[in-house]
Amino acid sequence: MTDTPPAAPATHLAQRVAALTDAEKAELLTGQGMWRSHAIGRLGIPALLMTDGAYGVRYSISQIDGQQQGGQDLDQFLAVVNTRARDMKAAFGNTKPATCYPNGSAIACSWDVATAYQLGASLAAECRAFDVNILLGPGINIRRTPLGGRGYEYYAEDPVLTGDFAAAVVEGLQDHGVGASLKHFACNNSEIERTTMDSRVSPRALREIYLLGFERVVRKARPWTVMSSYNRLNGMQTAQDPWLLTELLRGEWGFDGVVVSDWHGIKDRPAALAAGNDLDMPQNASRQRALAEAIADGSLPAEVVNQACARMLALVDKAKAAAGPVVPFDAAEHHAHARAMAAASIVLLRNEGGLLPLQPAALRRILVVGDGAVNPVIQGSGSATTLPTARDIPLDEIARQAGAGVIVQHLPGHGDTPEETAARTAEAAKAAEGADAVLVFVTTDAAEDGEGADRRTLALARGHDALIEALAAASGKVVVVLANPDAVVMPWAGKVAAIVETFFAGQAMGGALADILFGAVNPSGKLTVSFPARIEDTPAYLSYPGEAGVHEYAEGIFVGYRYYDKRAIAPLFPFGFGLSYTSFAYSDLEVATPALAEGEDLRIAFTLANTGPVAGAEVAQLYLGFPESRVQRPLRELKGFAKRMLAPGETTRVELAVPARDLCFFDAEAGRWRLEEGAIAIELGASSRDIRLAGAARAQPARPHYPPLAIDSQPTKVLANPVARAHFERFLAEKLGLSPDQAARMLAYTRSSFFGIHTTLNYFFRQDLPRAEIAAIIAAINAETAA
Ligand code: BGC
């Protein structure tokens, strides 16, 4: 591991910034070509090389080695995003082969931060082999709706899982000399009108759901760069939002790296720089000119420009110091890593009658149906698409693990015309009769697998549902193998023996799948999103995709399982769900901290045992709820998790700690996180709908919270605040000539009024108390309460 070198001293940086001319400053803050930062030869400042993507390195030979003016050349750029990954050769022939690891929506199902770290480390090794300094990932937007076109790149519908998984990816990258670019900041949750749409998000949903993952990564893993997003957020283009990029990201979270724009995402360059978007990518002559002019004419304050330059120089220093020599990577070894990662991520959703794992000794004939068995769907389309170094063919891997004694027969199950498909479906159904296992490979429409557009349906590709139905009618031994970007609906779910979800599992999917099917690896992946029974049940259904240029996030904080739980809607498969070939028992929950205040940790421990016949790993999930809260809160929220590998009969004690800050809600009125006094419901589950242990604790903030008062605050709100009570009692005693005790009783008597305190006092006590006098008391109370 390489340690991150210490940042250059500020004065030294300031001197180097001072040596730059205005034109050089504009260059330094603008890309050179498509993938490099600008070198300033006169001062010996080298360029940095950055490239996509989050699950595999996409090194475009013509754009990087050919020094094409890619930044000027929008065609080249759009060609990649707009080409489907399944036309790999045509689209990516000009790319250096690199390992295609499981995509975000697949690998996060491992729920394993060690796997995440390994992904980062492996990607760093491949970046270094190509002399790449910054990898443009990970992408961590919340999967608000399963229709989102980039869902395959992202990790989860939950911010804690997203943040903790991504932090480990970033650490894996940066510990090995390559910077991360945490993206897309923020609320780019749909591809519909992706560069103009305004995501309208409430303060609580913003903080508690959409920003929380970013915040966790920034605080924990200190990414070298953050990428601003294409969209607007609450009316403001994110690349030009000073609140988002400066006040929050740097001021509140302590981010000290460089903010990079998304490619051609900046619309007003000087405004973006002023907001804190340091680097404009890729090169673009008109934006660079606008910046140079704003620097020269002083409309951009010099300190803002200099600070951005200093951040760029610090990044260049850091990246160059960490880079080390260019060493080729071992493709075979990385393929093996990709296989282990995929196997740790595949989710077994159904296994009726224990059909899986397949036992070769008990099998005579396996029927394999579908193109996916010979032409596997391993990744989504878009800027993240990778040209793999190799590709496991599932049919070959299945035949290998089945062994010579088993007949493995393959049929396509579909044709080019509807008539042909009907004939092929009938042929497959006929062959399914008498087979000992029927493995059917299905997927979603190739046109709906990635960037640039959202999905229009949660259904499988045309004909695939019918194929499964026909096979299930002919055989009780159908195993459905799914390859899809995000949740799909499964009208046939109850009719098949087994369902294996691979998502887009990367180039070693075939081998990993065979490992799972034959039990060489015991499945341990669990879903990181809820699978709805139907599209109408999804949280964003009524407001997605938005209209009139606005994505209204009307479901607020109730995203994913938070919504299904609150509405008591049964999902097809819940968040956190996944089966194993063994069983686990949870027992002896101990809550070490029955009461907790700000700054403390909620600490719990429990015992986890493997009670089944084979070794296996379990993902145990800690959920907390706040049943006494005065604000709307989810029934349960993921606050921690642990994955443990256990031999049959083995038992382990698992300890988890949750900082009090993670129990807070975001108090929009006060603009801060708040720990609320009250009960904490503690649940440990094998999924969000399979709670095995329950306990309780109490949150006890050191000081109770009283919301600010106004002249029209109701007496109940006034009476709840002891400072306010004292003020008004004194006031009444003086005005009405009462004893302290009488004044207290008179004030208490106003409790039933639903009018504001000013109106109430006048009306109850037949007074004409001046508004200004009451306003002054309220101001004094608020000042004293806040202090
Ligand atoms: C994507 C980014 C990507 C960039 C460079 C953009 O269109 O949104 O995720 O890193 O292109 O390819």
Nearest to 70 by CA among 263, 287, 268, 289: 263
Whole-angstrom CA distances from 697 to 51, 218, 521, 633, 681 are 47, 29, 38, 17, 7
Question: 52: Cβ below 6 Å to ligand 1?
Answer: yes
Residues 392-429: pLDDT tens digits? 999 999 999 999 999 999 999 999 999 999 999 999 99
Among protein residues, the one with the nearest Cα to ligand 1's atom 4 is: 263
Q: What is the pLDDT of residue 69?
A: 59
Among protein residues, the one with the nearest Cα to ligand 1's atom 11 is: 263
DSSP string for 244-299:
IIIIIIIIIT---SEEE--TT--SSHHHHHHHT--BB-S--HHHHHHHHHHHHTTS
Residues 343/515, Cβ–Cβ less than 8 Å: yes
Residues 372-384: pLDDT tens digits? 999 999 999 999 9
Mean pLDDT over 582-595 rounds to: 98
Mean pLDDT over 727-735 rounds to: 96
Residues 343-359: pLDDT tens digits? 999 999 999 999 999 99
Confidence of residue 585 (pLDDT cuts 50, 70, 90): very high
Token code pair at residue 328 = 């080729």
Q: What is the pLDDT of residue 2?
A: 45
Token code pair at residue 95 = 């790319």
CA of 614 relative to ligand 1 center, distance in Å? 43
Q: What is the pLDDT of residue 787?
A: 83
Report which ligand 1 atom has the smallest distance to the Cα of 188: 8
DSSP string for 406-457:
SEEEEE----SSHHHHHHHHHHHHHHHTT-SEEEEEEE--GGGSBTTS--S-
To the nearest 10°, report the CA torsion of 510, 514, 517, 522: -100
Mean pLDDT over 525-548 rounds to: 97
- Three-state SS letters, 149-194: CCHHHCCCCCHHHHHHHHHHHHHHHHCCCCEEEEEEECCCCCCCCC
Mean pLDDT over 51-76 rounds to: 82
Mean pLDDT over 556-560 rounds to: 98
Confidence of residue 66 (pLDDT cuts 50, 70, 90): confident
The CB-side HSE value for 207 (13 A sphere, CA atoms) comes to 16
Confidence of residue 301 (pLDDT cuts 50, 70, 90): very high
Mean pLDDT over 449-467 rounds to: 95
Whole-angstrom CA distances from 774 to 167, 553, 711, 722, 751 are 51, 39, 7, 17, 17
Question: 191: Cβ below 6 Å to ligand 1?
Answer: no
Beta strands 637-646; 616-625: pairing state: antiparallel
Query: Over 60: is that where the pLDDT of 490 sits?
Result: yes
Euclidean distance between CA atoms 138 and 129, whole angstroms: 19
Question: 260: Cβ below 6 Å to ligand 1?
Answer: no
Among protein residues, the one with the nearest Cα to ligand 1's atom 3 is: 383
Mean pLDDT over 421-441 rounds to: 97
Euclidean distance between CA atoms 619 and 143, whole angstroms: 21
Among protein residues, the one with the nearest Cα to ligand 1's atom 8 is: 262
- For residue 727, the surrounding DSSP H or E stretch is helix 722-736
Query: Over 70: is that where the pLDDT of 68 sits?
Result: no
Question: 194: Cβ below 6 Å to ligand 1?
Answer: no
CA of 20 relative to ligand 1 center, distance in Å? 29
Q: What is the pLDDT of residue 467?
A: 98
Euclidean distance between CA atoms 154 and 139, whole angstroms: 6
Euclidean distance between CA atoms 646 and 648, whole angstroms: 6
Whole-angstrom CA distances from 126 to 100, 295, 510, 638 are 11, 38, 22, 33
Coil, strand, or helix at residue 589? Answer: strand
Question: 54: Cβ below 6 Å to ligand 1?
Answer: no
Average pLDDT of the chain?
95
Find the farthest-apart pair of alpha carbons in the chain and give their distance in angstroms, rounded.
102
Residues 486/148, Cβ–Cβ less than 8 Å: yes
Confidence of residue 192 (pLDDT cuts 50, 70, 90): very high
Among protein residues, the one with the nearest Cα to ligand 1's atom 7 is: 263
Residues 128-145: pLDDT tens digits? 999 999 999 999 999 999
Query: Over 90: is that where the pLDDT of 223 sits?
Result: yes
Query: Over 50: is that where the pLDDT of 489 sits?
Result: yes
Residues 355/478, Cβ–Cβ less than 8 Å: no
Q: What is the pLDDT of residue 472?
A: 98
Euclidean distance between CA atoms 267 and 230, whole angstroms: 10
Residues near 435 by Cβ (< 8 Å), separated by ≥ 6?
365, 366, 367, 409, 475, 477
Q: What is the pLDDT of residue 734?
A: 95
Query: Over 90: is that where the pLDDT of 200 sits?
Result: yes
CA of 71 relative to ligand 1 center, distance in Å? 12
DSSP string for 501-543:
E-SS--TTHHHHHHHHHTTSS------SSPBPSSGGGSTTTTT
Coil, strand, or helix at residue 13? Answer: helix
Residues 217/170, Cβ–Cβ less than 8 Å: yes
Residues with a catalytic annotation lie at 262
Q: Characterize 157-193 residue by residue with b for buried, 16 or more Cβ atoms within 10 angstroms of its Cβ, and e for exposed.
A: bbbbbbbbbbbbbbbbbbbbbbbbbbbbbbbbbbbbe
Number of C-beta neighbours around residue 524 at 10 A: 28
Residues near 89 by Cβ (< 8 Å), separated by ≥ 6?
none
Q: What is the pLDDT of residue 81?
A: 78
Question: 449: Cβ below 6 Å to ligand 1?
Answer: no
Euclidean distance between CA atoms 696 and 680, whole angstroms: 6
Whole-angstrom CA distances from 139 to 149, 252, 548 are 13, 21, 27
Question: 262: Cβ below 6 Å to ligand 1?
Answer: yes
Among protein residues, the one with the nearest Cα to ligand 1's atom 9 is: 383
**What phi, psi does 469 have (nearest 5°)?**
-60, -45
Beta strands 232-233; 198-200: pairing state: parallel
Q: DSSP secondary-structure letter at 102?
A: P
Query: Over 70: is that where the pLDDT of 71 sits?
Result: no
Q: What is the pLDDT of residue 670?
A: 87
* Residue 201 CA, distance from chain mean position: 17
Euclidean distance between CA atoms 95 and 102, whole angstroms: 19
Query: Over 50: is that where the pLDDT of 159 sits?
Result: yes
Residue in 34, 49, 52, 55 to alter for ligand 1 test, most ligand atoms within 8 A of Cβ:
52
Question: 150: Cβ below 6 Å to ligand 1?
Answer: no
Residues 633/626, Cβ–Cβ less than 8 Å: yes
- For residue 197, the surrounding DSSP H or E stretch is none
